[in-house]
Structure 1
Amino acid sequence: MRIKGISVFTKKRYKVRKSAVILAIFSLAMPAISNSAEDVPSNSYPHIPEPMVFDLVRPLGALKGELEANTLLQYDFAHDRTEANPEVEYTFADGYGIEFELPIDNTSEEGTSIAAYKISLQGTFNYPQSSQFIHGWQYSGEYFPDQNQYQNNALYLFGYRFNKRWSTLNMVGLRRTDLSSKGHFEGLFNSNLFYTLSPRLTMGLEINWKYKSNRPDQVLIIPQAHLKFTKHTALQFGAGMQRVLNRNFAHLAARLIFTF
Structure 2
Amino acid sequence: MRGFRLLAVVAGVLGGLTGVAYGLFTEQSRRARAVIGVPDAPPLRADGVHGSGEGPPVRFAVLGDSMAAGLGVDDPAQLPGVVLANGLSDEVGVPVRLETHAISGSTTRDLVAQVDRVLADPPDVALVVVGANDVTTRMSIPGSAALLGAQVRRLRDAGVGVVVGTCPDLGTVRPIAEPLRSVARDWSRRLARAQRVEVERAGGVAVALGDLLAAEFRARHADYFSGDRFHPSATGYEAATSILLAPLCGVLRHEWWPR
**TM-score relative to the length of structure 1:** 0.35
**Greater percentage in strand:** 1
Q: Which has the larger radius of gyration?
A: 1
Higher relative contact order structure (alpha carbons within 8 Å, sequence separation ≥ 6): 2
